[in-house]
């Protein structure tokens, strides 16, 4: 059976092909079989005596969903339609709101809105809790069900009710769906040899687009790099590794995973042909930086390759395997946790920045202005400005030949 290793939240995509079976041998097979007899007994009673006739497939699907819901927020069952929808995200183009969600403390929570999408323009924030979708309460709603309800034909509207820290009551957001096309890399020349590179997501094309941008900056005399991973909710594990290795010496560990099944215990090391290892780097993160973003930030922090600036990251450090099933449905199962090179588990904790810089509350309350000049926005960004100060310090130390003052881990 072909499987796929994935990390991230709403945008579940195929990544690595793993060999072997995902099923572990039960320590007590007889006890499990006995409980299965109980399940079939209940199933038979429901089929024969329930007030309404329920198709067997519907009963089985409901039972599977209930089983997975009891494991963790990230394991779920994908019916054939949901499984097909999941696969379209590999291309980075789909119809919807442009919002990344997860279950946090069993509450549907925004990881991050994707920049320049309807959700972003509407003013959704990382950490917002979604309590209703088109009037339907989201309590006990699975991630795939929530995704399906927010997806739809471009031009149609959906109303989501949001609870935000500091608000006394929920607020409704009426958002018009669009065809979402995510361009994962955005760049700016900030002058004085400083390159700004923002990664919005980790897709198949991200490492290539990053390398193209770095080559262009290098030819223009790049002396320092500001890597912005804020509101980047993750994506492909392989893309995270390939991005990290562009800044780390050959052979150094980027990330490793550990699970119950042997083939889930993997190590990913840097093997880039032309890594950028000589210039100072500052990485920006915030609460919306999750999963693959945390892998990159954690690796660069552990190897003291970059200084991390911003606020605590999301803390999504588990690995999901997508397993196709015989009827065209799929199983999204948490099979491992990932760790930074120095053995730190990020799950539930996140990455702590070397320099903590909060966005002023009055800035967070301001509405986003469509069409605003990106460079002007960066000049007003307090986290960006602090990152530039840290880059200046790192550059000065490098010019003196002194060790870069990056916090040790």
Q: What residues are labeled active site?
A: 291, 302, 316
Q: How confident is the model at residue 70 (pLDDT cuts 50, 70, 90)?
A: confident
Specify which residues 302 forms β-bridges with: none
Report the pLDDT value the prediction gives residue 235, as an integer from 0 to 100: 84
**Range scoring the smallest mean pLDDT among 81-95, 245-259, 266-280, 328-342:** 81-95
- The dihedral over CA atoms of 110, 114, 119, 122, expressed in degrees to the nearest 10, equals 110
CB neighbourhood size of 165 (10 A): 8
Is the pLDDT score of 342 beyond 80?
Answer: yes
Domain with CATH 2.30.42.10 in the chain: 93-181
Q: What is the pLDDT of residue 102?
A: 85
**Could you tell me the two tokens for 405?**
């003052």
pLDDT in tens, 172-213: 999 999 988 777 899 999 999 999 999 988 988 899 999 999
pLDDT at residue 371 tops 80: no
Looking up tokens 């669009």 gives: 178
Each residue of 208-227: pLDDT tens digit? 999 999 999 999 999 999 99
Region 262-280: mean pLDDT is 92
Mean pLDDT along residues 245-263: 94
45 pLDDT band (50/70/90 cuts)?
very high
What pLDDT is stored for residue 39 in this prediction? 87
pLDDT bucket at 368, cuts 50 / 70 / 90: low
Alpha helices, DSSP H only, in 287-381?
292-302, 361-364, 374-380
| Window from 12-16, 264-268, 388-392, 403-407 with minimum mean pLDDT | 12-16
Give the model's confidence band at 29: pLDDT under 50 very low, under 70 low, under 90 confident, else very high: low
Range name among 72-81, 323-332, 342-351 with the lowest pLDDT average: 72-81
Tell me how far the alpha carbon of residue 142 is from its chain's centroid.
17
Average pLDDT over residues 3-12: 42
Contacting residues for 170 by C-beta, under 8 A, at least 6 apart: 131, 132, 161, 162, 163
Query: How is residue 317 written in tokens?
Result: 């450090």
Per-residue model confidence (pLDDT) at position 30: 73
Output the average pLDDT for the chain.
85
**Percent of the residues in the chain that have a pLDDT greater than 70, as a whole number:** 86
pLDDT band at 409 (very low <50, low <70, confident <90, very high): very low
pLDDT at 197: 97
User: What is the model's pLDDT at position 275?
Assistant: 93
Spelled out in words, what is the top-level CATH class assigned to the domain 93-181?
mainly beta
Say how far apart CA 368 and CA 160 lie, in whole Å: 19
Q: Encode pLDDT of 287-300 as tens digits.
A: 999 999 999 999 99
Q: Start-end ranges of CATH 3.90.226.10 in the chain?
A: 185-317+336-399
Per CATH, the number for 185-317+336-399 is: 3.90.226.10
How far is the C-alpha of 101 from the C-alpha of 317, rounded, in Å?
15
User: How much is the pLDDT for 22?
Assistant: 33
The predicted structure's pLDDT at residue 366: 59
Give the confidence band of 21 by pLDDT, cuts at 50, 70, 90: very low
* pLDDT interval class at 408 (50, 70, 90): very low
Region 43-54 average pLDDT: 91
Task: Specify the pLDDT at position 52.
Answer: 92
- Where does the pLDDT of residue 382 fall: very low under 50, low under 70, confident under 90, or very high at 90 and above? very high
Distances (CA, A) of 29 to 21, 24, 33, 68, 263: 17, 11, 6, 20, 22
Instruction: Give the mean model confidence (pLDDT) for residues 301-325.
Output: 93
- Write out pLDDT tens, residues 72-91: 888 989 888 878 776 655 44
368 or 65, higher pLDDT = 65
Alpha-helical (H) ranges within 17-55 are 29-49
Answer yes or no: is pLDDT of 125 > 80.
yes
pLDDT band, residue 153 (cuts 50/70/90): confident
């Amino acid at each position: 059976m072909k499987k796929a290793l994935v990390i991230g939240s709403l945008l579940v995509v195929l990544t690595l092909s793993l060999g072997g079976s995902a099923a572990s041998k039960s320590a007590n097979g007889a006890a499990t079989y006995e409980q299965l007899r109980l399940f079939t007994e209940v199933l038979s009673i429901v089929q024969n005596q329930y007030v309404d006739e329920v198709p067997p497939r519907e009963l089985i699907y409901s039972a599977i969903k209930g089983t997975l819901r009891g494991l963790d927020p990230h394991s779920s069952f994908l019916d054939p339609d949901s499984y097909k929808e999941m696969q379209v995200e590999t291309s980075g183009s789909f119809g919807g709101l442009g919002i990344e969600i997860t279950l946090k403390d069993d509450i549907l929570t925004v990881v991050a809105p994707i920049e320049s999408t309807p959700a972003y323009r509407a003013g959704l924030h990382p950490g917002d809790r979604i309590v209703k979708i088109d009037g339907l309460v989201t309590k006990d709603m699975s991630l795939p069900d929530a995704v399906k309800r927010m997806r739809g034909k471009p031009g149609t509207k959906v109303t989501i009710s949001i609870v935000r820290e500091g608000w006394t009551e929920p607020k409704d957001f009426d958002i018009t769906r669009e065809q979402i096309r995510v361009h994962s890399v955005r760049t700016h020349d900030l002058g004085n040899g400083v390159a700004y590179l923002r990664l919005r997501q980790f897709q198949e094309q991200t490492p290539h687009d990053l390398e193209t941008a770095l080559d262009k900056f290098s030819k223009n005399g790049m002396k320092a790099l500001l890597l912005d991973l804020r509101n980047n909710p993750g994506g492909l594990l392989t893309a995270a590794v390939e991005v990290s290795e562009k800044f780390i010496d050959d052979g150094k560990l980027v990330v490793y995973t550990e699970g119950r099944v042997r083939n889930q215990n993997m190590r990913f090391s840097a093997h880039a042909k032309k890594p950028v290892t000589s210039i100072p780097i500052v990485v920006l993160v915030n609460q919306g930086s999750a999963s693959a973003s945390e892998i990159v930030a954690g690796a660069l922090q552990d190897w003291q390759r970059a200084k991390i600036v911003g606020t605590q990251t999301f803390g999504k450090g588990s690995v999901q395997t997508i397993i196709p099933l015989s009827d065209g449905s799929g199983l999204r199962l948490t099979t491992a946790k990932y760790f930074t090179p120095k053995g730190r588990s990020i799950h539930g904790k996140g990455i702590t920045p070397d320099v903590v810089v909060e966005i002023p509350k009055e800035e967070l309350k301001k509405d986003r202005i469509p069409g605003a000049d990106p460079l002007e926005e960066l000049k007003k960004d307090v986290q960006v400005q602090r990152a530039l100060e840290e880059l200046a310090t790192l550059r000065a130390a490098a010019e003196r030949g002194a060790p870069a003052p990056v916090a040790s881990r």
